[in-house]
Amino acid sequence: MRPKQHTHIHKDVQVDYLSRIKFSKDGKTLLHFPKKFKGEYRIPETVERIKEGAFERCNYLTSIIIPEGIMTIDNFTFRGCVNLNRVQLPNSLTTIIWGAFQDCINLISIDIPSGVSDISALAFAKCINLMAINVSPDNKYFSSIDGVLYNKNKSKLILCPNGKKYYILPNSIVEISRDAFNECKSLKNIETFPESNNYYSDDGILLNKEKTAIVRYPIGRQMTSFSIPQEVLCIEDNAFCGCENLSSIVLSDKVKTIGNYAFCDCKNLLSINIPSDVCIIGNVAFAGCSSLSSIIVPEKVEKIGDFAFSNCSKLKTINLPNSVRSLGYGAFEFCFSLTTCVLSENISLIVNDTFWECHSLTTIVIPDGVKSIGEDAFFECDSLTSIVIPKSVENIESGAFCGCERLESVIIEKGIRKIGYSAFRYCKNMAYINLPDSITDIEDSAFFNCISLKNLCIPTSVKNIGKGVFNGCGELELKLPQQLQLSEEDQENCKRVIYY
């Protein structure tokens, strides 16, 4: 099935009308492959590039032969080809990008040729039966032992194939890639050799040599509870990520650090204690723990990382002690059941997306000391009924309270300088908001569709007012300083505009 046979050229696309395969006009790029094609396909030798997603979800494709000249397998090129079981890669290939073979559930093994220098750890995501990634001995960048992917000198473990049930870590390994075991849902044991200088296996659980850090708990273990050994001080990045069978984890009292992604996607985790000496909760540490309903943050925690509790959809309340000085982006986004969060009095920023779509959040006290409320910080917190902005806050950024449909009252203390783009957009029940005479800028669409707003006075301190600020505010009687002029269209959106 070569593109020059039975082809039709239309504009910049060349179509083989028998097979419905689409190529670029010059035949050098394969653009689209038909979903109903069955069996093996040999890509024509004239093709130099395969478009991103070209073979995505070709469920009946069983074998693909890629010609010399192709240098990159792009994002999602073969994603969801569920019956693909054979892939022949060319020596010209240099790069396999993330998601390239994602969800190819019947792919058992793949041979990596000599020219490949870049393989994303997520290139084979959700290839649940993948047992071997075999690297050419002539490759200068990668190597393999028993189908496991390493760097050339075998000092770094890059990827353990998802279908592996048992794995022995070579003595040469000094570094383990963050995503090395993340998809290994069949993995039950990670072993080491007794003479290993860097790692130690305790009943199949990987620790550092000193036994002071949990490196990786095998995802495929069937146990529902686990107690961290007393000598452990650190839960390393990704240590328990994706351990869906665990419902209870008991941390030792000596633990001081919870790393990035440490307990991410432990979807059945019901309870976990954070020891009193923990100072940092890493990025995405508990994200996706969708069964966790409560957690106590101890008094010594100073930093909560980005997305730390994102998508903890059953989490109801959380109190942040005054030791917390840094609260990361999206820390509580998609915590749909969160009704109350007590913030530390020592945070200076509520950053972007902090409470994005916390639909059950009814009250929040913003501490005096917060200087800025970030973009979309309370986006669609549609159970929030009132808010007080303290005098320390200088900026309410874009979309900060957008979609807070039940928000009725907003009190802003003197100190505010800017109300950002769409900051209160779609606050349909907001009947009252005051604007103090410290404010200088009101950006576009700030009060868009605030249909319950009836009276508002813009202070003389305002120097700039954007477009469409009051679109949809049909009941609003607006008082406006003479030096500010609304366009005729913007004035028509209000019930009445009075200049003073």
* 7 beta partners: 16
- pLDDT tens column, 64-112: 999 999 999 999 999 999 999 999 999 999 999 999 999 999 999 999 9
When pLDDT is cut at 50, 70 and 90, the band that residue 227 belongs to is very high
In tens, the pLDDT along 275-306 reads: 999 999 999 999 999 999 999 999 999 999 99
Segment among 25-39, 328-342, 440-454, 480-494 with least mean pLDDT: 480-494
Instruction: Note the pLDDT tens digit of each residue in 343-389.
Output: 999 999 999 999 999 999 998 999 999 999 999 999 999 999 999 99
DSSP states along 385-418: -EEEE-TT--EE-TTTTTT-TT--EEEE-TT--E
Buried b (16+ CB within 10 A) or exposed e, 448-470: bbbbebeebebeebbeebbebbb
Please determine, for residue 486, whether its predicted confidence score (pLDDT) is greater than 90.
no
Give, in order, the Cα–Cα distances in Å from 127 to each of 82, 95, 182, 318: 9, 18, 12, 37
Closest CA to 62 of 88, 85, 45: 85
Please count the residues of the chain: 500
Domain ranges for the chain: 7-130
Amino acid identity for residue 205 in this structure: I
Which residue in 152, 123, 160 sits closest to 135, CA to CA? 152
Tokens of 266: 């432990």
Q: What topology is assigned to 7-130 in CATH?
A: 3.80.10
What is residue 492's predicted lDDT score, i.e. its pLDDT?
87
Q: What share of the chain in percent tops pLDDT 90?
A: 91
Instruction: Give me the pLDDT at residue 15, please.
Output: 57
Q: Tokens in use for 295?
A: 């957690």
Q: Are 205 and 190 in contact (CB under 8 A)?
A: yes
The pLDDT, as a whole number, for residue 2 is 39
As a dihedral over the C-alpha atoms of residue 78, residue 79, residue 80, residue 85, rounded to 10 degrees, the angle is 40
What is the per-residue pLDDT for 288? 97
Question: What does the pLDDT read at residue 4?
Answer: 43
Look up residue 13 and give its amino acid: V
Which residue type occupies 334?
F
Segment 420-435 shows an average pLDDT of 96
Mean pLDDT of 420-444: 97
How many C-beta atoms surround the C-beta of residue 111 within 10 A? 13
Please write the tens of the pLDDT for every residue from 113-163.
Answer: 999 999 998 999 999 999 999 999 999 999 999 999 999 999 999 999 999
Joined tokens for residue 24: 């670029």
Angstrom distance (rounded) from CA 294 to CA 271: 8
Please give the average per-residue pLDDT across 50-73, as a whole number: 97
| Residue 127: burial class (beta carbons within 10 Å; 0-12, 13-18, 19+) | buried
Angle at 373 between CA 369 and CA 375, to 5 degrees: 160
Average pLDDT score over the chain: 94
Q: Say which residues have a Cβ less than 8 Å from residue 246's Cβ, sequence separation at least 6.
A: 223, 224, 225, 226, 240, 266, 268, 269
Residue 17 pLDDT exceeds 90: no
Predicted pLDDT of residue 19: 60
- Are 209 and 188 contacting, i.e. CB atoms less than 8 angstroms apart? no
The span from the CA of 191 to the CA of 211, in Å, is: 14
pLDDT exceeds 60 at position 40: yes
At residue 2, what is the residue type? R
pTM for the whole thing?
Answer: 0.89
Alpha-carbon torsion 368, 369, 375, 381, what sign? negative
- Write the pLDDT tens digit of every residue in 386-405: 999 999 999 999 999 999 99
Phi, psi of 467 (to 5 degrees): -90, 145
User: Contact 230/207 with Cβ under 8 angstroms?
Assistant: no
